[in-house]
Amino acid sequence: MAALLALVGLGAVFGAVLGFAAVRFRTEGNPIAEQINDILPQTQCGQCGYPGCRPYAEAIASGDAAINKCPPGGEAGIQALAALLDVEAIPLDEEHGEEKVKAVAYIREAECIGCTKCIQACPVDAILGAAKQMHTVIASECTGCDLCLEPCPVDCIDMISEPQSVQNWHWPLPDTASRQPQIIATDAGQTQDRAA
């Protein structure tokens, strides 16, 4: 009898603790979708077929979408998603586009007619302008999603990739291929070939 009471008592206490914790420490939203969204590049380009990065993140979280539909995220993004979700990394789905060098939109201002179509298309409000006024892109806010190119009636928008400068250059990883040890004399030529 005492044992029964003890067990029931323990059950009641732990049940109460769990119930309290479930209410007190409830997580808002889907934490997995949140983490996936954190990895996605937030270009909001829609190349994955979803209307923005968050819907794609939610689709991945619910298992509706594969992790290889994000060209701006590229291979690195797929690797990160694979590591997060503990699935195998798969190559980028060519159907949704290919990984490109990051670029920003640039409006050839002399040709702009001020139609505001690109402003409506920009998912991050990075284009400044008004009707019948020349528009311009806030380069630091542009995600390079290409969404403004299509609606422009006069094709005055270019995508320009940032040129390499002393400011954005960084040391590359050592080139291991060209520094292969040539221990055996007959291997020497082959190593050179492989490096070339």
Partner 1 sequence: MRKIFDFHGGIHPPENKHQSLQRPIRDAGIPPRLVLPLSQHIGAPASPVVAVGERVLKGQLIAEALGFVSVPVHAPTSGTIVAIEDRLVAHPSGLLAPCIVIATDGLDEWTSLVAPPDYRDMTTRELLARIRDAGIAGMGGAGFPTAVKLTTKPGSAVATLIINGTECEPYITADDILMRECPDRIVEGVNILRQLLQPGEILIGVEDNKPEAIAALRAAATGSAIEVVSFPTKYPSGGEKQLIELLTGEQVPSGGLPLDVGVICQNIGSVVAIADAVVRGQPLISRITTVTGEAVAEPGNFSVLLGTPMNYLLAQAGYQPGRNRRLVMGGPMMGFTVPDASVPIVKTTNCLLAPSEAELPVPPPAQACIRCGMCAQACPASLLPQQLFWFAQAREFDKLEQHNLFDCIECGACSWACPSNIPLVQYYRASKAEILQLRREHAKAEQSRMRFEARQARIAQEEAAREAKRAARKLAAEQRAQTAAAGGEGVEDPIQAAIDRAKAKKAAQQVVATRATTETGERDKLEKAVVTTRARLDTASSKLEQARAEGSDLVDALQLGVDKTRAKLEAAELALQAFVDAGQTAPQQAVPTDAASVAIARAVAARAADAALDPVEKARAQLAGLEQRLAKTRARLAASRSKGEEEKIIGILVSTEAALEEKVSAARAQLNGKGDT
Q: How many residues bind partner 1 (CB under 8 A)?
A: 29
Residue 181 binding partner 1, by CB under 8 A: yes
Chain centroid to CA 55: how far? 13
Nearer to partner 1, 21 or 105 (CB): 105
CB of 65 to partner 1, least distance (A): 18
Give the H/E segment covering residue 160.
strand 157-161
Which residues inside 100-129 make contact with partner 1, applying CB under 8 A?
123-126
Q: Does 180 sit near partner 1 (CB under 8 A)?
A: yes
Residue 144 buriedness (CB in 10 A; 0-12 / 13-18 / 19+) = buried
Classify 104 as helix, strand or coil: strand
Contact 125, 141 (CB under 8 A): yes
d(CA 161, CA 142): 11
Min dist CB 139 to partner 1, Å, is 12
Residue from 7, 13, 21, 179 in contact with partner 1 (CB under 8 A):
179
Map residues 24-53 to x or -, x wherever contact with partner 1 holds by CB under 8 A. Answer: -------------x--xxxxx-------xx
First to last CA, the chain: 83
Interface of this chain with partner 1, residues 64 to 93, rule: CB under 8 A: none
Structure-block tokens of residue 178? 């060209």
DSSP E strands in 89-191: the ranges are 103-107, 127-128, 136-137, 157-161
Neighbours of 7 (CB within 10 A): 10
Which of 86, 88, 132, 176 binds partner 1 (CB under 8 A)? It is: 176
Cβ at position 123, least distance to partner 1 in Å: 5
Residues lying near partner 1 in the complex (CB under 8 A): 37, 40-44, 52-53, 123-126, 141, 143, 164-167, 169-174, 176, 179-182
